[in-house]
A and B are shown apart, each in its own frame.
Chain A
Amino acid sequence: EAGVTQFPSHSVIEKGQTVTLRCDPISGHDNLYWYRRVMGKEIKFLLHFVKESKQDESGMPNNRFLAERTGGTYSTLKVQPAELEDSGVYFCASSPLGGQGLYEQYFGPGTRLTVT
């Protein structure tokens, strides 16, 4: 069974440009999460999808970030326009529905975003 995949693995863009990150969850996982780790800090929650619906987007830093999950399968996270402080590693995770926090979240390898 394939794990969580993310694309691209690394993106370097200039300040003001737009970048779109993609996450493909494990097949059948209705829960999908986005996280971010900025340099030297802990991984922080951005948002949570249940199927195609945003369940919790309390961690989204501002309206330059837009996450979508059309059809309830893969998800995209768009940053527009990118700022220097957006640099970091963006992780996606997925888990089965139910069980609240007891079901393990499976993480992808992350996308390293560098804004110059």
Chain B
Amino acid sequence: KNQVEQSPQSLIILEGKNCTLQCNYTVSPFSNLRWYKQDTGRGPVSLTIMTFSENTKSNGRYTATLDADTKQSSLHITASQLSDSASYICVVSVGGTYKYIFGTGTRLKVLA
């Protein structure tokens, strides 16, 4: 069964601190993995995309890693800001299709 699991479920950090979110997946065939940010009341917005051959991708203060052998990914947020408060969702595309498999997300709260 295609599945994406994320941890932790929620996280609270102080502004300026770093944090790392985890994603494990069992999706076959694998096409690519995206991290999405979802602000409250809005739709998800893509932060990064990685294909099978890529093991790291950065977007400003966001850095995603992918280990295709262990089927794990992480999203590292550097020097967090209040605006980083949101849900972060790991999404894996099923190869040969347009289908997305979503994780349940990590709810991040950044405190001043």
Contacts and interface: CB of A to CB of B under 8 A. Distances in A.
B98 A41 contact: no
A41 B4 CA distance: 12
Given A93-B43, A100-B31, A107-B45, A41 B99 contact: no
A45 B92 CA distance: 12
B44 A102 contact: no
A107 B49 contact: no
Given A43-B89, A101-B94, A48 B99 contact: yes
Given A100-B95, A102-B31, A104-B49, 20 more contacts: A4-B43, A33-B100, A42-B4, A42-B102, A42-B103, A42-B104, A42-B105, A45-B100, A45-B101, A91-B44, A100-B96, A100-B97, A101-B31, A101-B32, A101-B98, A101-B99, A102-B32, A102-B49, A109-B41, A110-B43
